[in-house]
């Protein structure tokens, strides 16, 4: 009996702040999309221009939905102080004027890759898997608890590392990439670090019970799934060559890098 | 001027019933998931048991969401006559008693494949891409017009053919498949034919304008995307071997059929 009681306690007692943070970092280590092969190929210069275009085009759909996701989240926050912090994300993304902000910087990337802006904006050529996973992220934030909605952005803990690798790797390895096209990621290194610190502290402060801590872990896992599905779909379509009907097919598709 | 006016008319005039039906059948021909390589492998006996398990497990998530999708749709129907027709789908799926219905027949398949029912029911091992695409289907029916919600099930026009191929192919090619495990598909051949005829007539009767006809085409395309994403994710994970963290990994994974 003593052993059973102990076991129940260990499974139901809240983790300490350190244990909790370690759990979250372990999840990132195993499940963050820097583990995906497509990223290694992207950063190491293996891809051709069309494959980089496909990545930028699909990721664009993620970019334009971040402020929608954050607006949905803000509509559920009752505390003005938290809204005051969170609104910074929307301003960072949308900019305070026409010609700045994260979405605008993303066009610098797609412009630099010689993609037609109207085509990019139409999102017509994105992979259905991209659409479904990004839409799932927006729905998650609408439907789950505020704690889960806020902490689903904990993937930002792992973003600065991948951004730095990307900037160095892509600038070095592709002649169609320059400082201006990489402006988005340069800006995000600092922004994501600040945002992630805030959300990690929020999680530690607001997940009181073991169940709430588990919910936060599941929210982070969910978000890693969103990013992972996008990468897998890019790999399947643009490395292995199974582009689904209606999706973007680069001009240089036949000369793409493959691993078959 | 005359030419321009003619062009506008051709793009905005409603299609005839025949033209409209042909458009829908063309979409199926190009985009229905019988075009996916995974299905050819499944039906021709190329897969090992673990790969068939992975397919049955993931497709289960689709199965259990069909009645949820149809309930959401029914909540939006104002006409009792249409609800009276539509409710048949829920009864077909859920059964009128514990031990019948489409979901119950799906367990015959997973039981026959020696899968633990509790594990199947937990849906813990499904691919995130499966979850996101099926959830997108449920959301679509909640958010789009009733016409689009109803006609997103037009994929049933193309289902009887694939069901028949599947029954013959799987019975012939796998020693772990028998009449009982294939009960779901045997029943669906007739059910899907009746349901599809109804929805095709509904589309022709209720899509009056060209825009409404285009909306129906887009709804069908959307639904083909849902099914296609599921197939692509199965292929990427269980043929090419990129099983994402947390997803089902069959015991015989290392002896699986591959095409590398």
Q: How many helices (H) and strands (E) does chain A have?
A: 12, 0
Minimum distance, in Å, between the CA of residue B183 and any CA atom of chain A:
31
Which residues make Cβ contacts (< 8 Å) with residue B75, sequence separation at least 6? none
HSE of A58 in the Cβ direction (CA atoms, 13 Å)? 32
HSE of A90 in the Cβ direction (CA atoms, 13 Å)? 14
Q: What is the pTM of this model?
A: 0.92
pLDDT in tens, B73-122: 999 999 999 999 999 999 999 998 777 889 999 999 999 999 999 999 99
Which residues make Cβ contacts (< 8 Å) with residue A157, sequence separation at least 6? A24, A25, A28, A196, A199, A200
pLDDT in tens, A34-52: 999 999 999 999 999 999 9
Q: Of B22, B221, B214, whose CA–CA distance to B140 is shortest?
A: B221
HSE of A22 in the Cβ direction (CA atoms, 13 Å)? 5
* CATH 1.20.910.10 given to domain A31-248: yes
Question: Cβ contacts (< 8 Å) between A220 and chain B: which residues?
Answer: none
Would you state the torsion angle of the CA atoms of residues A38, B224, B75, B80, taken in this order, to the nearest 10 degrees? 180
Question: Cα(B27)–Cα(B17) distance, rounded to whole angstroms?
Answer: 16
Question: Cβ contacts (< 8 Å) between A233 and chain B: which residues?
Answer: 129, 229, 232-233
Q: Of B37, B41, B23, whose CA–CA distance to A244 is shortest?
A: B37
CB-CB under 8 Å, B136 with A135: yes
Question: Cα(A111)–Cα(A1) distance, rounded to whole angstroms?
Answer: 67
Task: Return the sign of the alpha-carbon dihedral for residues A47, B232, A156, B246.
Answer: negative
CB-CB under 8 Å, A129 with B229: yes
Quote the percentage of chain A above a pLDDT of 90: 85
pLDDT in tens, B17-52: 999 999 999 999 999 999 999 999 999 999 999 999
Quote the percentage of chain A above a pLDDT of 70: 95
Question: Cβ contacts (< 8 Å) between B228 and chain A: which residues?
Answer: 128, 244-245
CB-CB under 8 Å, A242 with B225: no
Among the residue ranges A45-54, A100-109, A233-242, B188-197, the one predicted with the least confidence is B188-197
Structural fold of domain B16-250: Heme Oxygenase; Chain A (1.20.910)
- A129 in reach of chain B (CB within 8 A): yes
CB-CB under 8 Å, A246 with B128: no
Helix/strand/coil percentages in chain B, nearest 5: 75, 0, 25
Question: Residue A31: in which H helix or E strand, if any?
Answer: helix A17-31
pLDDT band at B132 (very low <50, low <70, confident <90, very high): very high
- A143 in reach of chain B (CB within 8 A): no
Residues 233-252 of A with CB under 8 A from B: 233, 235-237, 240, 242, 244-246
Length of chain A: 260
Minimum distance, in Å, between the CA of residue B134 and any CA atom of chain A:
9
- A67 in reach of chain B (CB within 8 A): no
Task: Return the sign of the alpha-carbon dihedral for residues B220, B223, B229, B232.
Answer: negative
Q: Of A55, A49, A50, whose CA–CA distance to A176 is shortest?
A: A49
Residues 20-49 of B with CB under 8 A from A: 30-31, 37
On the question of pLDDT at B65 being above 80, the answer is yes
Which residues make Cβ contacts (< 8 Å) with residue A149, sequence separation at least 6? A73, A76, A140, A141, A142, A219
Q: Of the candidates B128, B226, B240, which has its C-beta nearest A225's C-beta?
A: B128
Q: Of the candidates B131, B232, B240, which has its C-beta nearest A244's C-beta?
A: B232
Q: Of the candidates A133, A135, A260, which has its C-beta nearest B260's C-beta?
A: A260
**Cα-only R_g, chain A:** 20
Neighbours of A58 (CB within 10 A): 26
Task: Return the sign of the alpha-carbon dihedral for residues B10, B14, B17, B21.
Answer: positive
> Helices A102-112 & A80-94, crossing angle to 10 degrees?
20
Question: Cα(A192)–Cα(B134) distance, rounded to whole angstroms?
Answer: 31
Task: Return the sign of the alpha-carbon dihedral for residues A137, A142, A148, A150.
Answer: positive
CB-CB under 8 Å, A226 with B244: no
Domain extent listing, chain A: 31-248
| Cβ pairs A/B, distance under 8 A | 86
Mean pLDDT in residue range B114-135: 98
End-to-end CA distance of chain A: 57
Distances A115 to A2, A55, A175, B105 between C-alpha atoms, Å:
66, 12, 16, 49
Contact present, B169 and B45 (Cβ < 8 Å):
yes
Minimum distance, in Å, between the CA of residue A131 and any CA atom of chain B:
9
pLDDT band at A98 (very low <50, low <70, confident <90, very high): confident
DSSP B97: S
Question: Cβ contacts (< 8 Å) between B233 and chain A: which residues?
Answer: 129, 229, 232-233
Minimum distance, in Å, between the CA of residue B18 and any CA atom of chain A:
24
Question: Cβ contacts (< 8 Å) between A235 and chain B: which residues?
Answer: 236, 242
CB-CB under 8 Å, A132 with B229: yes
Question: Cα(B218)–Cα(B151) distance, rounded to whole angstroms?
Answer: 10
DSSP one-letter string for A200-253: HHHHHHH--SHHHHHHHHHHHHHHHHHHHHHHHHHIIIIIS--PPTTS---TTG
pLDDT at res. A1: 45
> Helices B17-31 & B183-206, crossing angle to 10 degrees?
140
Among the residue ranges A88-97, A154-163, B94-103, B220-229, the one predicted with the least confidence is B94-103
Burial of B80 (0-12, 13-18, 19+ CB in 10 A): exposed
* Closest Cα in chain B to A135: B136
pLDDT band at B1 (very low <50, low <70, confident <90, very high): very low
Helix/strand/coil percentages in chain A, nearest 5: 75, 0, 25
Question: Cβ contacts (< 8 Å) between A31 and chain B: which residues?
Answer: 245-246
Mean pLDDT in residue range B49-74: 97
- A133 in reach of chain B (CB within 8 A): yes
> Cα B193 to chain center, whole Å?
14
Mean pLDDT in residue range A231-260: 95
Mean pLDDT of chain A: 93
pLDDT in tens, A100-150: 889 999 999 999 999 999 999 999 999 999 999 999 999 999 999 999 999
């Amino acid at each position: 009996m003593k052993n059973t009681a102990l076991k129940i306690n260990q499974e139901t007692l809240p983790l300490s702040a350190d244990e909790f943070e370690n759990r979250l970092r372990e999840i990132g280590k195993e499940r963050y999309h820097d583990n995906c092969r497509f990223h290694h190929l992207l950063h190491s210069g293996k891809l051709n221009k069309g494959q980089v275009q496909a990545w930028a085009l699909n990721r664009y759909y993620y970019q334009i939905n971040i402020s929608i996701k954050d607006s949905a989240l803000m509509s559920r926050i009752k505390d003005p102080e938290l809204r005051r912090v969170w609104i910074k994300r929307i301003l960072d993304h949308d900019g305070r004027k026409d010609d700045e902000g994260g979405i605008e910087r993303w066009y610098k990337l797609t412009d630099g890759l010689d993609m037609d802006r109207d085509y990019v904006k139409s999102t017509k050529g994105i992979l259905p898997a991209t659409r479904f996973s990004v839409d799932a992220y927006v729905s998650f934030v609408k439907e789950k608890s505020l704690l889960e909605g806020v902490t689903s952005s904990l993937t930002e803990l792992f973003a600065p590392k991948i951004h730095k690798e990307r900037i160095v790797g892509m600038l070095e390895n592709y002649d169609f990439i320059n400082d201006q096209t990489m402006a988005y990621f340069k800006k995000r290194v600092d922004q994501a670090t600040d945002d992630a610190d805030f959300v990690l502290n929020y999680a530690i402060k607001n997940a009181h019970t073991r169940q709430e801590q588990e919910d936060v872990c599941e929210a982070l896992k969910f978000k890693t799934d969103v990013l992972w599905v996008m990468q897998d779909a890019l790999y399947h379509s643009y490395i292995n060559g199974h582009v689904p009907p209606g999706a973007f097919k680069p001009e240089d598709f036949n000369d793409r890098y493959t691993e078959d």
